[in-house]
Structure 1
Amino acid sequence: MNQSILFPDMQEWNSELQVVTFPAQQSGALIECIVTLDELAKISGATISSEQEALAAFERVRFDLEELAEELIEDEAFNQLGQIEVVS
């Protein structure tokens, strides 16, 4: 794992966009990472129908999501809003 990219133990559910957001820090810059409900279900193998289930699934696969996000950050694969969209 690249020590210059840190992932604080923070995440939240965005019900409007149906995504879990979580921050990353690289060289002092804050980067917003997102994972869609569909992608989270795919990675976790769980059926997700509520905020609580989404956050629980996120916790179960946090390490995998952080690894994917780290690769995307290193590749500078930011979306138009400057976010990292985690996909497997």
Structure 2
Amino acid sequence: MNQSVLFPDLQDWDDNKQQVIFPAQVQGANIQCRISLSRLTKLHGEALTGEAEVLAAFEACRFDIEDHVEELIEQEMFDEDGAVSWR
């Protein structure tokens, strides 16, 4: 893992967009990261309902999520908003 990408222990559920939003810090810059509910459900292996279940699944899969999102950041796979999304 590249230590220049840091992931603070912060995450929020966006019910409207059905995704978890979490920050990454790269060389002092904050990058918004997102993982869709469908991707998180595939990683977790079972259906997720409600914010508490979604955030618990995110926490359980955090290492794999951060590892993949770090690769996306290193490949500069930013969307039009400057965020990184794993759908």
TM-score (norm 1): 0.95
| RMSD value, Cα | 0.8
Partner SS for 1:68? helix
1:22-45 Cα distance to aligned partner (Å, 9 max, x none):
100000000000001101001111
**How far, CA to CA, are the matches of 2:79 and 2:41 in structure 1?**
21
Count of residues paired in the alignment: 87
The residue number in structure 2 matching 1:66 is 66
TM-score (norm 2): 0.96
Q: Which segments of 5 or more consecutive residues in structure 1 lack a partner in the other structure?
A: none
**How far, CA to CA, are the matches of 2:67 and 2:86 in structure 1?**
10
Partner SS for 2:30? strand
Structure 1 runs of 4+ aligned residues shifted over 2 Å read none
Overall identity of the aligned pairs, in %: 49
**How far, CA to CA, are the matches of 2:77 and 2:83 in structure 1?**
8
- The 5 Å alignment of 1:33-52 reads 33-52=33-52
